[in-house]
Amino acid sequence: MSSADEYDRSMNIQSHAPGYWPLEAMEKWNDHKWQLRNRINSLEELESKINLTREERSGILLSGNKLAMSITPHYMNLVDKDDPNCPIRRQIIPRIEETWEDPAELSDPCGEDSHMPVPGLVHRYPDRVLFLVTDRCASYCRYCTRSRVVSGVGEQQLETQYEAAFEYLENTPSVRDVLLSGGDPLLFTDAKLDRILTRLRQIPHIQFVRIGSRIPIFLPQRITPELCAMLKKHHPLFISIHTNHPKELTTEVQQGLIRLAEAGIPLGNQSVLLKGVNDDVITQRALVHKLLMCRVKPYYLYQCDLIEGSSHLRTSVSKGLEIIEGLRGHTSGYAIPQYVIDGPGGGGKIPLNPNYVVQHTDNQVVLRNYEGKEFIYPEPNSMPAFLE
């Protein structure tokens, strides 16, 4: 299938009721509170809707020991009930492979706990902090980097100390950029999120505030005009969404993203490279093209973190480089994310790129373009031949 075919096939997907829900659900489908109340949280609920494999059934029975299962009706309607390899299904339904042990995997793969000056605030980079404001999400990704603290059933509890965090920020003038994450900050009420943003805006040296959220994908009904009007008060404000597959960008999601963009909020997307979900050029090209149509800049493509129980979802670094090379020169530069690995144990984001430098000497750089052709760029300290 060509990239154009994949794009066209995924462009007009809707997640509206009924799908797996009765017709009467249509009346409340666009109410985000109804969506949250009707999430699928148990084996019995899920088994009544789709045909589970033995691996999935066993994984669900054990999921309460690591990371809870929770699926919004909106997102559930994207799941293929008969295909265990459905890219949506692989992201959201537990599997027995989550119990496999791999000595390379870590409970805290990004080393966040060791960079917390106060509980809930991660200060790894000189001018940026990560503020973990909640441990709850609308739905739970099976490759969650923070599965140790997210959903309330992991091995740790997130005990964010808000006042201590605000005091630390007030007393640390090197911090100019705050990222709200968790969990998902957009699960908060408008009023609660407004209070947090207002408090941050009262700190003079904080220039940028960002929100990391999968709510626009799991629960687009939450992106209301009232929410956007509130967020608009706190510019410059940026939002990073998390989308992995073009099928996730439904018409409802697109409407929500455009609503955020029209509120003046720059939007970027962070994808995780996942085996059997998006580890091929055709899917990635369709995804990034569709993101641009939703007014979202593809920002990062993450190599899947070494989170415990994720080996069945991880693919090779060479596959990620192959994807970037398959995008470069074949689509707009705006559509190409930066491929990164979060250095295991707390090294931060490390960019990875295909090798386009064939040779580099004091006099010149030999470069390879996307077609494999070579070009010479003379270094400024080299003398043109006609002057020698």
Active site members: 124-125, 128, 137, 141, 144, 146, 305, 342, 349
Query: Residues 290, 246: contact at Cβ < 8 Å?
Result: yes
Residue 33 structure tokens: 């509170």
The neighbour count for residue 334, using CB atoms within 10 Å, is 10
Distance CA 109, CA 104 (A): 10
Query: Residues 104, 153: contact at Cβ < 8 Å?
Result: no
Which of these, 17, 107, 18, 99, lies nearest to 65 by C-alpha position? Answer: 99
Distance CA 325, CA 213 (A): 28
Distance CA 189, CA 175 (A): 26
For 346, left (φ over 0), alpha (ψ -120 to 50), or beta?
Answer: left
Amino acid at 252: E
Distance CA 353, CA 213 (A): 26
Which of these, 168, 179, 50, lies nearest to 118 by C-alpha position? Answer: 168
Query: Residues 124, 24: contact at Cβ < 8 Å?
Result: no
Distance CA 266, CA 81 (A): 35
